[in-house]
Chain A
């Protein structure tokens, strides 16, 4: 106890006072829920938690024999494969095009960023109306252009791509703005040197910009990957997981199991934990790869 007091009263120890609120928030909103969620995954529990029975690993074994859960993992992986490359590479290219502080570029940055501040509910409803299979504005325009009527939300072959597009549209701005900031921090002397060496704009981008913003690239890659593996709101608002479960992501299915009739909180927690472990493994691998590059 004296030792702790001594540390707290030292100059270095005072730092603990400053991080104390953050530690409390981290514990209350992250660590404790995570631990209890893990405990809950070994139980059979309903929504009100008044009937909690220990179930061993049965929720986990059930998850891996549940065709809907396995399908949701497949859907989530597919979604990530579509979304993440576009977010990481597409945003980088766009950022390179709008990184100079001209009035036009500032306008485009604002336009790209606008969806980020909109709620997923509003975005979902808006796109659902625009792309409605029969009364949607975009559907109508495409039909008028002689391209036939496309059933964006009811065709198992394309609906996942449509959902991914909406998700990209929604969060593309934040990736682009982060890249813009990174690109603006690259020293202009490197570009000048490259120009003297005869490098054109594309070569400058590939050989100067990309290597210089690599930490930002890894950051975008990791956060977008983790985010896309947790996709819920856009799916919930646009397709609800349909048609024929082709857009039912893991978190959407977890929500269904937890809060629909005959709530299965224990099972939902077990599935959440499986997803958590997967995201953690992928993130750690990416992190190690990033550090190895450094």
Chain B
């Protein structure tokens, strides 16, 4: 108990004093609404359940039996996709016959909220976050291997590499919810104006450079290429194509960083510097605004860029990021549902019901996972969805879908490396920015990056 109190106080200390200037958590509007609704529903459902109890037989599988229960569900979908999530969660609350109420709380400061809650032995039963979060909150996540036994979900319907991404030592800690990758966007009008085929994006990085030169028109502030040094995730997705993973396991089974002497990374850095020096790529920390303003011929970004492009009325195409020297790969992050250790057996069973509902096609051929995928422009993680007619009719998500499901899914490091966030946020800026701003040779910068990365890697060996 003393330890718990100490933890809570320390947590408060961190948030209040060490980090002055940080914003406070803002919960989603769904939380309060869900809370009051949960109370109402709980009362209604209790009555229903009482009358049903006598009719139900005791032979039902205890694991799948769900009593009226409220499931606290936390995530950080604060954008417009959050509104869709609220809508779908409300639909589940209205439709499910098991007396389950999913009480959702959307927070822009999920990490701060979680750290305080877990330290106090509280928190949500169900979480939605990046698979990489298991390296931070692994102690609070339950294995979800049994979900395929306790629900109608078919493990074989999930693309294997995505489930692997959410697993460690044979234990699955998250069930895929959204696949986040980066794609190459091109402005068809600018392609046409430059005499390029507007229906076909570049297939190789040599073509990317060539097209960039053709599109750039300095007199009109138009640039062919939109690589952005401040966008660490974009840098990671691209650099991986050139020099493969930054951290992998060596022959002895230990983590090893692969920066020094990585000719692929050096090639990318030289290419990027060349594009900036030639004026074909603006030196900017914000390429999104330029792309939506029609001033960039090409850029690489996540699916969220498309809504901005649609709103701005840009005539654009999407394709997968060109393959580089590192060969075919599917660099993705997987966001998933996770049941926490805070969840009781009843809450866990209810959370499973919700995840099952999310991934199951109803009689009308609708499925929340499909709705989410089509409305938010995210590729599917279920094989059955990829074959779905509605899905196949959506050119945007089809362009984002990696058709070869056997290709490995790793993002910048081996997916099991716990320090992936540090590599992205601490090491990558230290290789791109000194090359661009200080004019340091790529080889020297990679040597320095190796020292930094070795320090990070050593913590996990």
Contact = CB atoms under 8 A, between A and B. Distances in A.
Interface string A33-62: 111110110000111111010000000000
A236 B421 CA distance: 18
A48 B10 contact: no
- Residue of A35, A129, A259, A268 with highest tally of chain B CB at under 10 A: A259
Interface string B104-133: 000000011011001100000000000010
A50 B138 CA distance: 11
A37 B13 contact: yes
B136 interface: yes
A135 B295 CA distance: 9
Contacts of A255: 19, 21-22
Interface in A242-288: 242-245, 251, 254-256, 258-263, 265, 268-269, 272
A238 B419 CA distance: 27
Contacts of B21: 230, 232-233, 236, 251, 255
Contact of B285 (A45, A240, A245, A263): A240
Interface residues of B, number: 55
A265 B9 contact: no
Interface in B275-296: 282-286, 289-290, 293, 295
Interface string B201-220: 00000000000000000000
A239 interface: yes
A11 B450 CA distance: 70
Contact of B282 (A29, A134, A233, A269): A134
Interface string B427-446: 00100011011100000000
Contacts of A129: 289
Q: For chain A, which range describes its interface: under 10, 10 to 19, 20 to 34, or 35 or more residues?
A: 35 or more
Contacts of A254: 18-19
B140 interface: yes
A256 to B, nearest CB: 7
Please classify the interface of chain B as helix (H, G, I), strand (E, B), loop, or mixed, using the class held by over half of its residues. helix
Interface in B73-113: 111-112
A256 B419 CA distance: 15
A151 B152 CA distance: 56
Nearest to B130: A261
A133 B17 CA distance: 36
Given A40-B10, A263-B136, A132 B424 contact: no
A262 B422 contact: yes
A269 B18 contact: yes
A242 B221 contact: no
Contacts of A48: 114-115, 118-119, 136-137, 139-140
Interface string A122-162: 00000011001111000000000000000101101000000
Interface in A84-137: 121, 128-129, 132-135
A14 interface: no
B14 interface: yes
A33 B17 contact: yes
A203 interface: no
Contacts of B115: 47-49, 263
A223 interface: no
A48 B12 CA distance: 11
Contacts of B13: 32-37, 40
B277 to A, nearest CB: 14
B418 interface: yes
A115 to B, nearest CB: 17
A261 to B, nearest CB: 2
A30 interface: yes
B283 A262 contact: no
B90 to A, nearest CB: 28
Contacts of A268: 14, 18-19
A272 B115 CA distance: 19
A233 B140 CA distance: 31
A265 B290 contact: no
B293 A135 contact: yes
B153 interface: no
A260 B19 contact: no
B282 A272 contact: no
Contact of A259 (B112, B285, B420): B112
A243 B437 contact: yes
Given A49-B10, A261-B132, A37 B418 contact: no
- Residue of A52, A135, A236, A269 with highest tally of chain B CB at under 10 A: A135
A47 B136 contact: yes
A242 B429 contact: yes
Nearest to B287: A134
Interface of B: 7, 9-14, 16-23, 111-112, 114-115, 118-119, 132, 135-137, 139-140, 221, 229-230, 282-286, 289-290, 293, 295, 418-422, 424-426, 429, 433-434, 436-438, 456, 459
25 contacts: A32-B13, A35-B13, A37-B13, A40-B13, A47-B114, A47-B115, A48-B137, A49-B10, A50-B7, A128-B286, A132-B286, A134-B290, A134-B293, A153-B285, A154-B284, A154-B285, A239-B285, A244-B433, A244-B437, A245-B429, A251-B21, A261-B132, A261-B422, A262-B421, A268-B18
Report the 8 A-B pairs with minimum CB-CB distance, sorted nearest first.
A261-B421, A36-B13, A232-B21, A33-B17, A33-B13, A244-B433, A244-B437, A47-B115
Given A236-B21, A262-B136, A262-B456, 6 more contacts: A32-B13, A49-B115, A154-B284, A242-B429, A245-B433, A254-B19
